[in-house]
Amino acid sequence: MIARLLDALLLTERSCLHCGKTFKPETQGYLCRSCLLSVRPAESFYEPPELPGLDGLEYFALYEGALREAVKLIKFKSVKPLACELAERFRRHLKSYLDELGVPFVTFVPTHFLRRWRRGFDHNELMLKCAGLPALKLLKRVRYARPLAGAKKEERERRVRDAFKALGTLERVVLFDDVLTTGSTAVEAARVLKAAGVKEVYLYALALEPPAPLPPP
């Protein structure tokens, strides 16, 4: 990571981890500009999962391509500058969702402090900060859980049970999270927010895991 960041500072050519083309890094040495610009609002509509306790749901794009690469680099390789690059992509889309609902604040699914300490930042919080949107921390993660990637729905639900504590309440709020898979995390976060007095919780996911293709007949 250090080598790539140094390269970004020195503008040494790197090859893009997604498409393989060489590019001169501007803020980071991982993904080229055209891959970053390919991260756009989803054009095709996939039906997101039914999520109890949520009053509405919007997502920015599907969890695939350069977006998937970027999220993994941010979360698992601690590539901080990519969080702000992504924020630049979804900022207007999330802002129009807030405006459409008339909800003034966005909150987020927080990272456990141990993971934040290891990564160096809370990626959801950082993305909202970079996006310059009015964000409030209403939840604290009080239970450390292994990453949910790859786990089945029941296992995900078990791992996120009682994972959050409310730090405050608002009448209506948009909850931001990075990747929506089964929705177990968002459902648990919404349950805790509602128990603390929030009347309406809307979910905005940066990326929706596309449904698995049907098996061949």
Pairing of strands 14-15, 22-23: antiparallel
Nearest to Zn ion of 35, 106 (CB atom): 35
Nearest Cα residue to 112 out of 181, 46, 60, 185: 185
Nearest distance, CB of residue 61 and Zn ion, angstroms: 16
Exposure string of 136-156, with b = 16+ CB inside 10 Å and e = fewer, is eebbebeeebeebeebeeeeb
Nearest distance, CB of residue 34 and Zn ion, angstroms: 6
| 24: CB partners within 8 A, 6+ apart | 11, 12, 13
Nearest to Zn ion of 38, 169 (CB atom): 38
List residues binding Zn ion (CB under 5 A).
16, 18-19, 32, 35
Nearest to Zn ion of 32, 51 (CB atom): 32
Helix (H, G, I), strand (E, B) or coil at 53: coil
Nearest distance, CB of residue 77 and Zn ion, angstroms: 16
Nearest distance, CB of residue 21 and Zn ion, angstroms: 5
Nearest to Zn ion of 35, 61 (CB atom): 35
